[in-house]
């Protein structure tokens, strides 16, 4: 057995094409404000990618860069202005932030209706209640990837490795929801879970989002299981001096002969995370005008019908 690779890169391209088609029919352009504080190298790359992708699909993105010594009060004041700006439909403050700025305070400051990263407690709470509004981008991308490959979560045993507010926790809530994309029996594991391999070997679906390089190995996977790798670790590439290679939370070489499906790193979940940021921005634009369906259904409707 060799796992079927779950190609997120091509799916992201198809979804972006659909978003571009929809934005072309709008009377004006959805607006996305991307804020970066400081010069963290990874943040520079991520924000540039988000800006480039948003412009490609007809979203009016604007990047604002502030020095690393910016005060929390100054950043909150700028967010307040953007909250009141009718031309801004989505706001994303890139993490990490400098130590003098508290990420939880910033998350609370963003208008929940413009919170395209879904970090506001209101958006997190609505999801926990089974009444989602804006939903985290990476979990949405994973649901899109499952839909693309016709993989139904209903009745499956799912194990989510990691309990972060941006991936693990919302992913577990979405999979357990009474909804077309949910109805799974979900277990969340973390660093203090006992006998982790015994838990994961029971799973039909494993979502690896613990941030530990190649921690998920072949003996942890039930034959034929669906394995989604959310990890992203940059290491020097010994075969290409001066270059980097990307590795995930899954030991791909070992798991590939065991799993039924495996999302690669790179080219799996990563491209879909950026794409679902664009989907969330379009959703917030539509919601501001009183249109659009439930948010998860809105995002999954962007997956091509022939998927």
Annotated catalytic residues are 50, 94, 117
Question: Of the candidates 237, 255, 2, 273, which has an alpha carbon nearest to the alpha carbon of residue 136?
Answer: 273
Could you please report the per-residue DSSP string of the chain? --PEE--HHHHHHHHHHHHHHHHHTSSS--EEEEEEES--HHHHHHHHHHHHHHHHTT-EEEEEEE-TT--HHHHHHHHHHHHT-TT--EEEEPSP--TTS-HHHHHHHS-GGGBTT--SHHHHHHHHTT--SS--HHHHHHHHHHHHTT---TT-EEEEE---TTTHHHHHHHHHSSSTT---EEEEE-TT-SSHHHHHTT-SEEEE-S--TT-B-GGGS-TT-EEEE---EEEE-TTSTT-EEEE-SB-HHHHTTT-SEE--TTTSHHHHHHHHHHHHHHHHHHHHTT----HHHHHHTTS-TT-
The rounded distance, in Å, linking the Cα atoms of 247 and 265 is 6
197's CB contacts (< 8 A; 6+ apart) are 219, 220
Q: What is the CB neighbour count within 10 angstroms for residue 269?
A: 30
Contact between residue 106 and residue 115 where contact means Cβ atoms under 8 Å apart: no
């Amino acid at each position: 057995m060799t796992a079927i690779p779950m190609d997120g890169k091509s799916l992201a391209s198809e979804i972006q094409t659909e978003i571009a088609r929809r934005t072309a029919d709008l009377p004006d352009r959805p607006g996305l404000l991307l804020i970066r504080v400081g010069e963290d190298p990874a943040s520079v790359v991520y924000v540039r990618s988000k800006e480039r992708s948003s412009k490609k699909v007809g979203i009016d993105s604007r990047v604002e860069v502030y020095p690393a010594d910016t005060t929390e009060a100054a950043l909150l004041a700028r967010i307040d202005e953007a909250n009141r700006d009718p031309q801004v439909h989505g706001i994303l403050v890139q993490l990490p932030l400098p130590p003098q700025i508290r990420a939880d305070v910033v998350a609370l400051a963003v208008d929940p209706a413009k919170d395209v990263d879904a970090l506001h407690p209101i958006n997190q709470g609505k999801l926990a209640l089974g009444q989602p509004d804006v939903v985290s981008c990476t979990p949405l991308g994973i649901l899109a990837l499952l839909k693309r490959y016709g993989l139904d979560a209903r009745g499956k045993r799912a194990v989510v490795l990691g309990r972060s507010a941006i991936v693990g926790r919302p992913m577990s809530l979405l999979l357990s929801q009474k909804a077309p994309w949910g109805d799974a029996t979900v277990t969340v594991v973390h660093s203090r879970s006992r006998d982790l391999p015994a838990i994961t070997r029971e799973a039909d679906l494993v979502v690896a989002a613990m941030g530990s390089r190649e921690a998920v190995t072949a003996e942890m996977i039930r034959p034929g299981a669906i394995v989604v790798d959310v990890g992203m670790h940059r290491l020097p590439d010994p075969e290409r001096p001066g270059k980097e290679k990307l590795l995930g939370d899954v030991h791909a070489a070992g798991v590939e002969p065991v799993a039924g499906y495996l999302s690669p790193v790179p080219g799996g979940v990563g491209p879909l995370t950026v794409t679902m940021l664009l989907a969330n921005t379009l959703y917030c634009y539509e919601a501001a005008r009183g249109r659009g369906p439930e948010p998860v259904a809105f995002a999954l409707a962007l997956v091509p019908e022939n998927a």
